Amino acid sequence: MSDVFANAQPLHGLIGGVMIGLAAALMLLGAGRIAGVSGIMARATALADSDMSCSSAWMFLLGLPIGAFAVAAITGLREAEFASWPILVVAGLLVGIGTRMGSGCTSGHGVCGVSRLSQRSMIATATFMAAGIATVVVTNHLGGLS
């Protein structure tokens, strides 16, 4: 059994997930808004109209790297490996267009919408999961991306 899921960190995952849930709950119950990162990014850069104030959107976005930095400082977590910049640019464009066209990403649809049992969000989540799985299968078959 030890070879199966050798790299999995279920406890880290659960702790991280509960923190994300609490963060989204604070946004919902505290500010009355959905913690959807793509929507908040579009709001902060004036690429979308929303009820959230521009300053609140920037505060949330500013918090993301602050939290990640704090965790790295406490746990000694180091910088991960990322793909080369041309691949990041192509992927970023797809993520930017796709999340606006589909009205949300992993946080807004995947966490906030699915937990609300929103059918739109469940369809969106099933779709981006399936597309992500298919993409990894194809790119791994082609020898991986670097």
Partner 1 sequence: MSAARRFLPPLLSGALFGGGLSIGGMTDPKRVRGFLDLFGAWDPTLTFVMGGAVIVMAIAWRLQARMARPLFGERFALPGRTDFDGKLIAGSALFGIGWGIAGLCPGPAVASLALAPTTVFPFVAAMLAGMAAHRLIPERRRALATQGS
- Restricted to residues 67-106, the positions that interact with partner 1 (CB under 8 A) are 67-72, 75, 77-83, 85, 87-103, 105-106
Please, which residues have CB within 8 angstroms of residue 34's CB and are 6 or more apart in sequence? Answer: 24, 27, 28, 108, 112, 113
DSSP helix/strand/coil, 118: coil
- Reported in sequence order, the residue ranges of 3-132 that DSSP labels E, i.e. its strands, are none
Q: Which of 1, 8, 142, 146 binds partner 1 (CB under 8 A)?
A: 8
Instruction: Round to whole Å and give the CA distance between 38 and 101.
Output: 11
- In terms of CB distance, is 2 or 23 closer to partner 1? 23
Q: How many CB atoms lie within 10 A of CB 44?
A: 20
**Interaction between residue 54 and partner 1 (CB under 8 A):** no
**Interaction between residue 130 and partner 1 (CB under 8 A):** yes
Number of residues engaging partner 1 in binding (CB under 8 A)? 115
**Interaction between residue 1 and partner 1 (CB under 8 A):** no
Q: Which of 1, 2, 29, 146 binds partner 1 (CB under 8 A)?
A: 29
